[in-house]
């Protein structure tokens, strides 16, 4: 079974721009969660999508948004980029939602904002 895939792997953007990241979960997995990882803050939860609905949301501003499609693929969008948005963005998929499921991480998208 193929693992979680994320595109693109690396991205350089300028302040004020917007960016869209994509995540394809493991086949059969219906939950996709997004995390931001920075040296200062560690791994922080952004949001979770299950059956095309946002189930949970972390403490991030409204500039961070996402969606999930009927095939469980998910996209994450960040508008009006700031320097502090430079980070590794990881998506994780699991079979179901509910807190008892192993989450498998993709390789991440390394975003640099200049």
101 phi and psi angles, rounded to 5 deg: -110, 140
34 sits near another protein (criterion: CB under 8 A) = no
66 sits near another protein (criterion: CB under 8 A) = no
60 sits near another protein (criterion: CB under 8 A) = no
Report, in Å, the least distance between residue 56 CB and another protein. Answer: 5
Q: How far apart are alpha carbons 69 and 75 in whole angstroms?
A: 8
Report, in Å, the least distance between residue 26 CB and another protein. Answer: 12
25 sits near another protein (criterion: CB under 8 A) = no
Beta-carbon count within 10 A of 75 CB: 17
């Amino acid at each position: 079974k193929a693992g979680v895939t994320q595109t693109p792997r690396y991205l350089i953007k300028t302040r004020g721009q917007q960016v869209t990241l994509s995540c394809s979960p493991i086949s059969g997995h219906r939950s996709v969660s997004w995390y931001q990882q920075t040296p200062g803050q560690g791994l922080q939860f952004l949001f979770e999508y299950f059956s095309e609905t946002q189930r949970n949301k972390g403490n991030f501003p409204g500039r961070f948004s996402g969606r999930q499609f009927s095939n469980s693929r998910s996209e994450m969008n960040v508008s009006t980029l700031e320097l502090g948005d430079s980070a590794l963005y990881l998506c994780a998929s699991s079979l179901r939602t509910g807190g008892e499921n192993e989450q498998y991480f993709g390789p991440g998208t390394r975003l640099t904002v200049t």
